[in-house]
């Protein structure tokens, strides 16, 4: 199919998909489990980080705040790898909307979305370091100043938004409408997580600044 012809047919294909979206989602156990894993991860790290802040239990069992943060980082990273595996496995078991797979435009969009998402995630991790990425402030490992360079100069939450884009890019690449719904769920879960994380992190740094002023 020529690019010009594809540009003519794509809007119609997308309209058909929108009208029949529900029929391309199989609500099976694999999909439910993938959604559960996606929901579990931010709930887990928020609960554990709050417990650490209040009780220092990870610091105590690991022999230091930095060790505790590394332990939590390894756990979160491992859970993320497992979640991604579960998501891909569930996605491949879902109905495919073939026009998405056959479209050169959608394929290019999938590659760009997944690639840019990874750029946001990896560069934010590089800018923050391990402790900055994995809730080191809950362990008392605070940054001297706010990171404002790339990618934070183009996006306030590049880690979460980049991860969401990776889910979206994967769904587009495989032509799975169910994946589009899951990507939307990921976006919502991260927005909810930020409602808990951002005010609490701001409180931690405000307490630090108050102690400096005393």
Binding-site residue numbers for S-adenosyl-L-methionine are 115-117, 197-198
Q: How far apart are CA 117 and CA 96, in angstroms?
A: 23
Residue 141 DSSP SS3: coil
Distances (CA, A) of 10 to 96, 102, 108, 119: 16, 10, 14, 28
Q: How far apart are CA 175 and CA 205, in angstroms?
A: 44
CB atoms within 10 A of CB 55: 10
Structure tokens that stand for 136 in this block: 């080191």
Q: How far apart are CA 201 and CA 46, in angstroms?
A: 11
Residue of 134, 158, 160 whose CA lies nearest to 74: 134
Q: Which residues are annotated as a binding site?
A: 115-117, 197-198
Q: How far apart are CA 65 and CA 69, in angstroms?
A: 6
Structure tokens that stand for 44 in this block: 């887990």
Q: How far apart are CA 91 and CA 72, in angstroms?
A: 28
* Cβ–Cβ under 8 Å, residues 90 and 34: yes
């Amino acid at each position: 199919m020529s690019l010009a012809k594809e540009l003519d047919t794509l809007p119609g294909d997308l309209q058909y998909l929108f009208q029949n979206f529900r029929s391309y989602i199989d609500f099976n156990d694999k999909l439910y489990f993938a959604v559960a894993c996606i929901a579990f991860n931010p709930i887990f790290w928020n609960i554990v980080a709050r417990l650490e802040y209040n009780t220092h239990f990870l610091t105590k069992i690991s022999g230091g705040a930095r060790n505790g943060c590394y332990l939590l980082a390894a756990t979160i990273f491992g859970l993320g790898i497992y979640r991604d595996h579960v998501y891909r496995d569930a996605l491949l078991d879902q109905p495919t909307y073939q026009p998405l797979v056959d479209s050169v435009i959608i394929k290019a969009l999938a590659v760009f979305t997944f690639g840019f998402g990874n750029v946001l995630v990896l560069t934010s991790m590089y800018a923050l370091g391990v402790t900055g990425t994995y809730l080191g402030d809950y362990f008392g490992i605070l940054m001297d100043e706010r990171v404002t360079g790339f990618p934070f100069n183009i996006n306030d939450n590049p880690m979460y938004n980049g991860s969401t884009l990776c889910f979206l890019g994967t769904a587009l690449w495989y032509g799975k409408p169910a994946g589009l719904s899951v990507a939307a769920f990921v976006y919502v879960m991260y927005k909810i997580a930020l409602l808990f994380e951002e005010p609490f992190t701001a409180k931690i740094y405000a307490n630090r600044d108050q102690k400096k002023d005393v």
